[in-house]
């Protein structure tokens, strides 16, 4: 009888006396490629790290690598987030540093990072070029790591993994931050390495995956349920959608009917122009969908609105009725805005408690440095309860699963009922139920008159309230259009793919 490739027997993992994995058994045979899915916080990432030898559990985990294969006898785990350091080997970056880093070369370029990785792993550099081209990443060679968006960081992780081609490749949230075209070509690349002998475990609740996937494993209550189809999921889709807290049912107190006005905005880093002649207006109460391929300029555009980009002073930019640079501070701008983005999550102080993290949204600080008055404390408690975080409210943010961390920061984003809500890929890390609850929440908020700018690559994760769309391509506005709410998903998908695959 042929030996299995991965054999897990009686694996148990406890966290703070709570059993996450309970005498788990899982056998992966040669040629089996899995999607591992389940509710957020169920232990998927921990299980993957144990298989890759990055975390310890109680039980037996054995990988029988093929010693006759030319592929490395390695189980590579690709994290959902990319962790990088500066040239001095530390990672104490701050959020706005991404937009001011051109003044000093703080981190490696992508090219230098790949050269270092190739030498470390003994790889042929010529072999990485087709991967870079397929993921539309070649033009980023001279970009510093700190300049990259979350989707671009994900691409760098994927490029390195596909270049190495280990015998076992485990990817946590492979499609996070990737545009439509990049997801398509990633699946093609994963199919290709699978044919060469790489076995896959993709941790994902998404509905798309490569053709090579032939098995599905759902992690539920510490146990693995294996099937040939994801349709047999035992996760309940029934969820009671709560009524939003009363203090968020009031319309925001608008200081101006003009939220954002951009006139011929241009942003350049040296010879590289990131935004070109952008003209865009956002009126109070409007709900915008902002889309574009990875590297199209979305994050830079949002950084101008949020007051984080120093080049805003050199452009004709109006925020909340005032021209940028007319005497207002960055904090004057931020008091009008609630923001969530993958990059903000990266740099947030994970050593604050859940309660403190949400409360800090009143003051736009990374951490809570003053005692809240009674009314504000009550509002924090209401949001803690609404998002199902009551049992975790005194725990450190860093101890929570990624999905719950994101819910905490989403609660922080809307705690002050801001005039403008900026949601950049807000559902990253959320499971299907959490995504549904959050989008219901956004729809309810926006029905009360809140202004919204929403960035999302997955049509299935968009709220229903979106009314208009602005599409960027290579730093320019490709399209501005009204969305038909009844047929919106179909129209957006069609138009977006036409642009990307022309």
Question: What's the pLDDT score for residue 105?
Answer: 56
Give burial (CB, 10 Å; 0-12/13-18/19+) of 174. buried
Closest CA to 260 of 303, 204, 314: 303
- Predicted TM-score of the model (pTM): 0.82
60 backbone φψ class: left, alpha, beta (φ>0; ψ -120 to 50): beta
Domain boundaries, the chain: 6-232, 246-500
CA 383 to CA 387: how far, in whole Å? 6
CA 127 to CA 117: how far, in whole Å? 13
Spell out a b/e string for 469-481, using b for 16 or more CB atoms within 10 Å of the CB, else e: bbbbbebebbeee
Strands of 64-114, DSSP E? 75-78
CA 445 to CA 243: how far, in whole Å? 11
Closest CA to 86 of 141, 145, 156: 145
**C-alpha count within 13 angstroms, C-beta hemisphere, residue 138:** 10
Q: How far apart are the first and last CA of the chain?
A: 51
Task: Look up the CATH superfamily of 246-500.
Answer: P-loop containing nucleotide triphosphate hydrolases (3.40.50.300)
Q: Do 6-232 and 246-500 share a fold?
A: yes
CA 224 to CA 284: how far, in whole Å? 48
Question: What's the pLDDT score for residue 232?
Answer: 46
CA 74 to CA 77: how far, in whole Å? 10
Dihedral over Cα of 239, 245, 250, 251: its sign? negative
Closest CA to 445 of 474, 477, 421: 421
> How would you write the pLDDT of the chain (502 residues) with one tens digit per residue?
467 999 999 999 988 778 899 999 999 999 999 999 998 888 999 999 999 999 999 999 999 999 999 999 999 999 987 665 544 444 444 444 444 544 445 678 899 999 999 999 999 999 999 999 999 998 888 888 777 777 888 999 999 999 999 999 999 999 988 888 999 999 999 999 999 999 999 999 888 899 999 999 999 999 999 998 876 444 444 455 678 899 998 888 898 999 999 999 999 877 788 899 999 999 999 999 999 998 899 988 998 998 878 787 889 999 999 998 887 788 888 889 999 888 788 778 778 899 999 999 998 887 777 788 999 999 999 999 998 899 999 999 888 888 888 889 989 999 999 999 999 988 877 788 888 888 888 999 899 889 999 998 887 779 999 999 999 999 999 999 998 654 444 333 333 333 332 2
Dihedral over Cα of 495, 497, 498, 499: its sign? positive
Closest CA to 202 of 41, 33, 25, 52: 33
Q: Which CATH number fits the domain 6-232, given the four candidates 3.30.70.920, 3.40.1360.10, 3.40.50.1000, 3.40.50.300?
A: 3.40.50.300
Dihedral Cα 404, 407, 412, 415, nearest 10 deg: -130
CA 379 to CA 372: how far, in whole Å? 10
Question: What's the pLDDT score for residue 378?
Answer: 96
Question: What's the pLDDT score for residue 309?
Answer: 80
Tens of pLDDT, residues 55-80 = 999 999 999 999 999 999 999 999 98
CA 95 to CA 274: how far, in whole Å? 19
Pairing of strands 420-424, 337-340: parallel
CA 96 to CA 346: how far, in whole Å? 12
Question: What's the pLDDT score for residue 241?
Answer: 67
Strands of 379-436, DSSP E? 420-424
Closest CA to 111 of 181, 160, 73, 74: 160
Tell me the CA distances in angstroms from 265 to 289, 317, 370, 469, 480, one per residue in order: 19, 8, 38, 18, 16
Q: Are the C-beta atoms of residues 80 and 171 closer than 8 Å to each other?
A: no
Question: What's the pLDDT score for residue 495?
Answer: 37
Closest CA to 207 of 230, 176, 233, 236: 230
Question: What's the pLDDT score for residue 487?
Answer: 44
Phi and psi torsions of 265, nearest 5°: -75, 130
> In the chain, what are the helix, strand and coil shares in percent, each to the nearest 5?
35, 25, 40
Question: What's the pLDDT score for residue 432?
Answer: 81
Per the listing, tokens 């719950």 go with 404
Question: What's the pLDDT score for residue 83?
Answer: 62
The residues near 182 (Cβ < 8 Å, ≥ 6 apart) are 135, 136, 151, 155, 293, 294
CA 61 to CA 25: how far, in whole Å? 9
Question: What's the pLDDT score for residue 314?
Answer: 84
CA 393 to CA 410: how far, in whole Å? 14
CA 47 to CA 37: how far, in whole Å? 11
Order the strands of the 18-28 sheet from edge to edge. Answer: 18-28, 6-15, 58-63
DSSP state for residue 361 in the 8-state scheme: G
Q: Are the C-beta atoms of residues 128 and 114 closer than 8 Å to each other?
A: yes
Question: What's the pLDDT score for residue 494?
Answer: 35
Q: Are the C-beta atoms of residues 275 and 314 closer than 8 Å to each other?
A: no
């Amino acid at each position: 009888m042929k030996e299995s490739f991965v054999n897990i027997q009686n694996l148990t993992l406890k966290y703070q006396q709570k059993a996450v994995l309970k005498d788990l058994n899982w056998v992966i045979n040669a040629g089996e490629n899995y999607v591992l899915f389940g509710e957020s916080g169920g232990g998927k990432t921990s299980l993957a790290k144990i298989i890759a030898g990055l975390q310890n559990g109680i039980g037996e985990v054995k990988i029988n690598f093929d010693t006759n294969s030319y592929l490395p006898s390695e189980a590579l785990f690709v994290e959902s987030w990319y962790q990088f350091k500066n040239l001095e080997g530390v990672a104490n970056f701050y959020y706005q540093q991404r937009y001011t880093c051109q003044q000093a070369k703080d981190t490696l370029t992508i090219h230098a990072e790949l050269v270092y990785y190739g030498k470390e792993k003994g790889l042929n550099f010529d072999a990485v070029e087709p991967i870079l081209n397929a993921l539309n990443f070649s033009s980023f060679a001279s970009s510093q790591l700190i300049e990259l968006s979350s989707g671009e960081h994900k691409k760098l992780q994927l490029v390195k993994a596909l270049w190495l081609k280990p015998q076992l490749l485990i990817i946590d949230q492979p499609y996070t931050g990737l545009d439509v075209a990049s997801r398509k070509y990633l699946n093609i690349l994963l199919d290709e390495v699978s044919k060469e002998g790489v076995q896959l475990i993709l941790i994902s609740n998404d509905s798309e995956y490569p053709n090579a996937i032939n098995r599905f494993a759902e992690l539920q209550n510490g146990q693995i349920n294996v099937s040939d189809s994801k349709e047999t999921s035992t996760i309940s889709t029934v969820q009671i959608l709560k009524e939003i807290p009363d203090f968020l049912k009031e319309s925001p107190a608008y200081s101006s009917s003009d939220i954002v006005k951009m006139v011929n905005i241009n942003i350049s880093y040296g010879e590289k122009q990131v935004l070109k002649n952008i003209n865009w207006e956002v009126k109070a109460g409007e709900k915008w969908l902002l889309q574009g391929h990875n590297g199209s300029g979305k994050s830079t555009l949002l950084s101008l609105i949020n007051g984080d980009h120093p080049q805003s002073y050199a452009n004709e930019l109006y925020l909340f009725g005032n021209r940028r640079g007319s005497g207002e501070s960055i904090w004057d701008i931020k008091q009008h805005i609630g923001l969530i983005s993958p990059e903000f999550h990266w740099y947030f102080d994970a050593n604050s408690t859940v309660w403190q993290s949400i409360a800090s949204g009143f003051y736009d600080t990374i951490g809570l440095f003053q005692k809240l008055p009674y009314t504000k404390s009550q509002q924090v408690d209401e949001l803690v309860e609404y998002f199902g975080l009551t049992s975790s409210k005194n725990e450190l943010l860093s101890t929570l699963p990624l999905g719950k961390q994101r819910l905490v920061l989403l609660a922080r984003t809307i705690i002050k009922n801001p005039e403008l809500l900026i949601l950049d890929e807000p559902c990253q890390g959320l499971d299907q139920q959490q995504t549904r609850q959050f989008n219901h929440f956004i729809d309810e908020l926006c029905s009360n008159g809140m202004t919204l700018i929403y960035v999302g690559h997955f049509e299935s994760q968009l709220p229903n309230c979106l009314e208009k769309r602005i599409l960027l391509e290579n730093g320019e506005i490709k399209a501005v259009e009204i969305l038909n709410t009844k047929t919106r998903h179909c129209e957006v998908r069609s138009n977006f793919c036409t642009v990307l695959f022309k």
